[in-house]
A and B are shown apart, each in its own frame.
Chain A
Amino acid sequence: MRLRNKLLGAAMALASTVAPTAGWTSSHREAPFITKNPKVDGTDFYIFNSYEAGRSGYVTLIANYLPLQDAYGGPNYFGLDPSALYEIHVDNNADAQEDITFQFQFQTALSGGTGIALPIGPSGQTKSVAVPFAAVGALGAGSEGARNVLDTYTLNIIRGPRRTGTSSAVTMAGTTTATFEKPIDNIGSKTIPNYAAYANTFIYNVDIPGCTPPAGTHPKVFVGQRKEGFAVNLGQIFDLVNFTTANGGPLANVVGAEDQGLNTIANKNITTLALEVPASCLTSGSSTIIGAWTTASVRQARVINPTGTFSEPSREGGPWVQVSRLGMPLVNEVVIGLPDKDKFNGSEPKDDAQFADYVTNPTLPAVLELLFGGIGVHAPTTFPRADLVTAFLTGVPSVNADGSTAELVRLNTAIGATAKGSQNNYGAVGCFDSPTASAGAALNPTGHADCDAAGFPNGRRPGDDVVDIAIRVAMGALLDTTHATAQGCIHAGQMNCLPYVDGAGVSDADFDATFPYLKTPVAGSP
């Protein structure tokens, strides 16, 4: 027992030595440089055929930024960077380069230009003094007079290369207004008694130049704070302390229940940039498949203003430099090696051949084997991992492969959406036959009741449990059983596989049935 305690102590010390300040989330603080720039840190990217009733024919694109927001983070809360470009790119001709870009730019201003001030001092000798708060009274739907910090944004659609293509302003439906407002973050119930109703007034019907929506409908846009939708058991699953029950507390079992209540970011918020666009405005020619990803860029140079002001704390100049990139979930976390994470964030899909070794010879399975080998977990033994190339770089043939080899999220817009309540949170994984000793998993969309072809990796919905899927696929779920002795399971009850989980479950039940799907953010105070 003394030795066991000693071992545990050593393990705990080890864990504390190597544990990062933030852990494994889809792309939260995943690269060294981006940790210095949280406002432009893309965390999750979703693209799926809209499953809101009456919105068939639309595609929803959601880019989340600014990770791990604690709701009480006042007085400034979590505004986006007015000096940055936030973009969602769409490739519709399979060359791994953007053909359409939706470009968001933000502006932040004080109310009335100088902010709300109060007369302070004895009668006749008062001074007008600016208040230090973001809001000085109750806010509600259509009632923002007490708001002290105003966030607005413009949205442009760029056809062609993002910096040299043709740019047009997206406008409020039926108007020429090209400036949209972003709701203030969820400060708390005293400031904003009904945040859901308040935030809903910032969902805009829009007109997109060159895009004809289905009759009687409009594309939509929303930017604002939402409840974090990603679910992950932060740290524990790869924390050595997790592997013994000697210290008590909540512990994940890597082959235990899918949801062990260990979503450690459940009470965090995120900032969402959401669009709903007709599929016909995103596709090109006869192809129904698109690839998409999000990026954030900042000016190459920043000079700190030694006498900083609200409107000009610094000055930026030079060309735009991409500092964040996100398509498929977890790629820059569990696939790309630490030396190349910032390089990946600055790269473009067309150049992804430079990262191929990380996919064909992945390190994650080796780590899982190292940690769990004693209980029977073994890494797949076939290289190069063509199955991972299919999963991460090409898409699945006959489903969403478009002929390109690059890391982006591919969506076949012709595959109908699955309604909330009927989605399988393991997405399209169930559309494959179980592997055999001599053959990997073969696509069989009509052969399995648990096949949900509208889910990840055919696009990605908020309710798709991409962590569990990623672990299982990395552990050879699609490989033959000879080369993947302890492969991840595809179907419930499947033999010769392990049902790897991270213990943090997520499903469509955790999200709304309507745009922008992600839930009302956690309030900063009751």
Chain B
Amino acid sequence: MRVALALAVALAPSCSSSKPSPSPSPSPAASSTSTTKSVVSAKDLGPLAARLQYEAAHRPTSGLRAERVLDAIDAAGLQLADRKQFLGLTAHASFCAGGTTRDGVGISICEYDSAAAATAAKAYVDRQYAFADATRTAHGSALLTVIGSHEATERAVHAFEAL
């Protein structure tokens, strides 16, 4: 915990930073538009930040990108207060991001190398981190997790699956 706390002291400000990501520019396969909001990644924050930067620098070169999914969900009326990078390893993912809306809907999107990897990861996460309030949906090579009302979850999932 002392580790976590020490990291937290360093990480917390950056997690809410509005500075643009220093991580690699989107791959050619990314379909983000110029109006797409970036995901803030941690930097200069010690070993865990290095791990996060590693994940940010090794995102899949094809498939759904987190920014695009979050843009679609945003357009569906579920705007995140902040977009944050999460540790992908937890979900067996290459990269994860997300946040919380002002109405209290939690959104997480993780990127995988393939659709099969996303499906396998969903099975793993459902088994290892089972909780009834989370709705997890694998689509293409991405995995969406929504915690919120039934209506909000449906909207987010619909926007996700339409991509």
A residues neighboring B (CB under 8 Å): 3-4, 7-8, 10-11, 14, 17-20, 23-24, 30, 235, 238-240, 243-245, 253-256, 330, 333-339, 361, 363-364, 366-376, 378-379, 381, 437, 481-486, 495-499
Contact = CB atoms under 8 A, between A and B. Distances in A.
Nearest to A333: B1
Closest 7 CB pairs of A and B: A24-B1, A363-B8, A373-B86, A374-B96, A482-B104, A374-B91, A485-B106
A364 B5 contact: yes
B48 interface: yes
Interface stretch (B24-32, B129-137, B154-162): B129-137
B125 A30 contact: no
Contacts of A374: 86-88, 90-91, 93, 96, 98, 108, 110, 145
Give the interface SS of chain B, mostly helix, strand, loop or mixed: mixed
Given A485-B100, A485-B148, A243 B1 contact: no
A367 B86 contact: no
B130 A381 contact: no
18 contacts: A14-B47, A24-B2, A30-B2, A235-B3, A240-B51, A240-B89, A243-B90, A333-B5, A338-B5, A363-B8, A364-B8, A370-B52, A373-B87, A373-B97, A374-B108, A375-B108, A378-B100, A437-B104
Nearest to B135: A376
A334 B133 contact: no
A103 B48 CA distance: 43
Interface footprint category on B: 35 or more
A18 B7 contact: yes
Contacts of B4: 24, 238, 334, 364, 367-368, 371
Nearest to A371: B87
B27 to A, nearest CB: 16
B163 interface: no
A255 B51 CA distance: 23
Contact of B1 (A253, A330, A366, A486): A330
Nearest to A238: B4
A10 B53 CA distance: 12
B145 A375 contact: yes
Contacts of B106: 376, 378, 485-486
Interface in B34-60: 42, 46-48, 50-52, 54, 58
B84 A373 contact: yes
A192 B58 CA distance: 60
Interface of B: 1-9, 11-12, 15, 42, 46-48, 50-52, 54, 58, 81, 84-94, 96-100, 102-106, 108, 110, 113, 125, 128-134, 136, 145, 147-148
Contacts of A4: 92
A381 B9 CA distance: 17
Nearest to B1: A24
Contact of B12 (A8, A17, A256, A363): A363
A345 B107 CA distance: 39
B118 to A, nearest CB: 12
Given A376-B106, A496-B133, A14 B51 contact: yes
B103 A482 contact: yes
A256 B130 CA distance: 8
B81 A381 contact: yes
Contacts of B81: 381
A18 B1 contact: no
Contacts of B12: 361, 363, 366-367
Contacts of B48: 14, 18, 240, 370
Given A10-B54, A14-B47, A364-B8, A372 B90 contact: yes
Contacts of B42: 370
A498 B3 contact: no
